[in-house]
Structure 1
Amino acid sequence: MRQRYLALLSMFASLPAMALTFQTRLENIEWKVEGDKFECRLIQPITDFGSGVFVRRAGEQAIFRLNAFNAMLGEGSATLLAAAAPWQPGRGDINLGSVRIGRGQVLFNSSQAQAASLVRGLLEGRTPLVRHYSSTSGTSEVRLLPVKFRQAYSDYEACTTKLLPKNFEQVRQSQIGFPGGGIDLDNQARANLQVMVEYMKADPSVNHITLDGHSDNSGNRLTNRDLSRRRALAVMDFFKENGIQESQITLRFHGEQYPLVRNSNAANRAKNRRVSVRLERVPAPEKNTSPVGTTNPASVS
């Protein structure tokens, strides 16, 4: 395939006014939908090039990604267009701005706004087009075609309805507040914790929780320390009630020792009454492989 590409490149190098275009023949166009609870992808393979992919992660809007088998486009800036179809006279191309072509299989990831414009264009019969100019090889274009797009997009939207509310980067840390000064979880706290529980159940590799309880400086040090402990326990109890084992939870409490902001007014003190929650992937401990009948030295007291 690389030899075929190089032959094409040398043939067109002497014709700087022409664009080397990569696209799939009309009769071979297909869209594929792949995904799970974490990510949905809408893909059009591009013959002898790679693929164009709309990618939507949990908790985010979609981006558009261009993949390539080989380094067929040089590094640098390229223009992203929602191009009018030849059968749509009078309609001009929509310039969606520039993208930066990089190395590797993924040539670029668009912005969310650019991806949304490409989807609207495809629904109107427009063609996503990447136009790249190189001083050595001239102009190259990569095109996706809107053929069969509507049905595939419907399947893709069905996939997105099953995505988790947030991805791991969004859910891995949270501050559970106790603005009223007590130790009971309010509705907002419960909703935030429920999202974390759902993620842990969907991704078993996320298998550990660290809880850090905090208070403001309103009471004496011992009272504040106890309040921070009881708040952390309230959060731990929520996780346990929702199927998380206590052995998966590390609980710590710090009283007023680590404020988020200065305890200079009522609003700031409310922010400091909190439990910090952190989700982690903790490797399972290695099994003891000592031969039967021997003693592990670490266990000897």
Structure 2
Amino acid sequence: MEPTVRQRYLALFSLFASLPAMAITFQTRLEKVEWKVDGDQFECRLSQDITDFGQGQFVRRAGEQVTFRLQARERWLGAGSATLVAAAAPWQPGRGDINLGMVNVVDNGPMPFNSTQQQGTRLLTGLLEGRSPLVRHRTPDGGEGIEVRLMPVKFNKAYHDYLDCTTKLLPVNYDQIKQAQINFPGGGADLDDVSRAKLEIILQYMKADPSVNHIELDGHSDNGGNRLTNLDMSRRRGLAVTEYFKANGIPESQIVLRFHGERYPLVPNTNAANRAKNRRVTVHLSRDPMPPAPTTPATAPIKPAATS
């Protein structure tokens, strides 16, 4: 028979009452547990406040899987390795805790650690099974043990809202897209379907993030021709990418083009496969500082008169 909500509450209270006296345990009372979902096209967050500690957060960035992290108001966790556990609920007899391995804890900021993506995914799966994300560690002085626990109650509705958020994420994040490579494996300077697809993803990100407003393009060739021919081919490839950006709304003033011929091979030009890899344009995105806000006429400085 499925246990009632009251039975679950009583089982959890019994569990916490039985914890060793030397352990400091942080968790929110069941009746006060709330899950929050927020985010945008760059990142989705699913979080629960932890009384007297801070917050537990599941964070999924665009282009990545979810990770789990703690946000601490005080330096409760000492540097070192903590144990991450998907803890079984006391109303599920016969189920043991699942040890998900260690996480490296730092003690010099509000975010003591980030889990791996595999650990984050397994913790979410555990929550759907009624398990609690649990972190076991020690205080900074290496003395008392600490347990930080998130509660699985009220999770399903928040999880559905979180999934809705993830459907709006961009296909990549800035770290993944800031350095890209457009290949010309067949020779020549024409963009193929694969190259256009890569450029479309870059454009999609730039249109979503106006702070990315500078593109550096470097054209390259293999060593199949003479030096001048290779230099011209690398220029034509860079121009093909430049024109694609311009045709899709990127101002020419934001683009810097360089071309190098065969000077900087990615791999040695020793076979056909390697030569194909060297026929490329690298795309580097960066965020230039935003220009200062214009001053109002009332406070604008007076410019000196021009001298002849």
What TM-score, normalized by structure 2, do the two folds share? 0.86
State the shift of 1:17 in Å: 4.5
2:258 corresponding residue in structure 1: 252
State the shift of 1:196 in Å: 0.7
> Partners in 2 of 1:126 and 1:73 — Cα distance?
22
> Partners in 1 of 2:303 and 2:137 — Cα distance?
66
1:106 corresponding residue in structure 2: 111
The DSSP-based 3-state class of the residue aligned with 1:250 is strand
The DSSP-based 3-state class of the residue aligned with 1:107 is coil
Q: What stretches of structure 2 of length at least 5 have no aligned partner? A: 1-18
The answer to whether residue 48 in structure 2 is matched with residue 44 in structure 1 is yes
Contact 2:134 2:147 in 1 (8 A): yes
2:73 corresponding residue in structure 1: 69
The answer to whether residue 136 in structure 2 is matched with residue 131 in structure 1 is yes
Contact 2:78 2:142 in 1 (8 A): no
> Partners in 2 of 1:177 and 1:295 — Cα distance?
51
The DSSP-based 3-state class of the residue aligned with 1:292 is coil
1:184 corresponding residue in structure 2: 190
The answer to whether residue 303 in structure 2 is matched with residue 292 in structure 1 is yes
> Partners in 1 of 2:65 and 2:174 — Cα distance?
15
1:8 corresponding residue in structure 2: none
> Partners in 2 of 1:252 and 1:139 — Cα distance?
57
Pair 1:100–1:264, CA change in 2 (3 A): closer
Deviates more, 1:77-86 or 1:126-135: 126-135
Which of 228, 231, 239 is matched with 2:234 structurally? 228
Contact 1:127 1:146 in 2 (8 A): yes
State the shift of 1:60 in Å: 0.8
Pair 1:64–1:136, CA change in 2 (3 A): closer
State the shift of 1:16 in Å: 6.6
State the shift of 1:78 in Å: 2.0
The DSSP-based 3-state class of the residue aligned with 1:106 is coil
2:204 corresponding residue in structure 1: 198
**Amino acid in the other structure paired with 1:294:** A
> Partners in 2 of 1:16 and 1:124 — Cα distance?
26
2:23 corresponding residue in structure 1: 19
Query: How large is the RMSD of aligned CA atoms in angstroms?
Result: 2.2
Pair 1:220–1:95, CA change in 2 (3 A): same
The answer to whether residue 38 in structure 2 is matched with residue 34 in structure 1 is yes
> Partners in 2 of 1:61 and 1:229 — Cα distance?
38
> Partners in 1 of 2:79 and 2:266 — Cα distance?
44
Pair 1:229–1:136, CA change in 2 (3 A): closer
> Partners in 2 of 1:121 and 1:16 — Cα distance?
24
> Partners in 1 of 2:146 and 2:95 — Cα distance?
22
**Amino acid in the other structure paired with 1:185:** L
> Partners in 1 of 2:213 and 2:289 — Cα distance?
9
> Partners in 2 of 1:292 and 1:133 — Cα distance?
63
State the shift of 1:256 in Å: 1.6
The answer to whether residue 86 in structure 2 is matched with residue 82 in structure 1 is yes
**Amino acid in the other structure paired with 2:272:** A
Pair 1:64–1:285, CA change in 2 (3 A): closer
> Partners in 1 of 2:133 and 2:183 — Cα distance?
45
Contact 2:211 2:290 in 1 (8 A): no
State the shift of 1:290 in Å: 7.4
Contact 1:80 1:97 in 2 (8 A): yes
> Partners in 1 of 2:304 and 2:155 — Cα distance?
66
Q: What stretches of structure 1 of length at least 5 have no aligned partner? A: 1-14
State the shift of 1:36 in Å: 0.9
1:12 corresponding residue in structure 2: none
The answer to whether residue 154 in structure 2 is matched with residue 143 in structure 1 is no
> Partners in 2 of 1:59 and 1:180 — Cα distance?
29
2:122 corresponding residue in structure 1: 117
Pair 1:198–1:91, CA change in 2 (3 A): same
What TM-score, normalized by structure 1, do the two folds share? 0.88
Pair 1:184–1:94, CA change in 2 (3 A): same
The DSSP-based 3-state class of the residue aligned with 1:174 is strand
> Partners in 2 of 1:17 and 1:30 — Cα distance?
27
Deviates more, 1:267-276 or 1:40-49: 267-276
- Superimposed CA distance per residue, residues 100-156 of structure 1 (whole angstroms, 9 cap, x where no aligned partner): 222121111111111111111100001111122457642221111111111101111
Q: Matched residues, percent identical?
A: 66
State the shift of 1:73 in Å: 2.6
Q: How many residues align?
A: 283
> Partners in 2 of 1:39 and 1:151 — Cα distance?
19
- Superimposed CA distance per residue, residues 65-110 of structure 1 (whole angstroms, 9 cap, x where no aligned partner): 0111101233332221111111111111111112222212111111
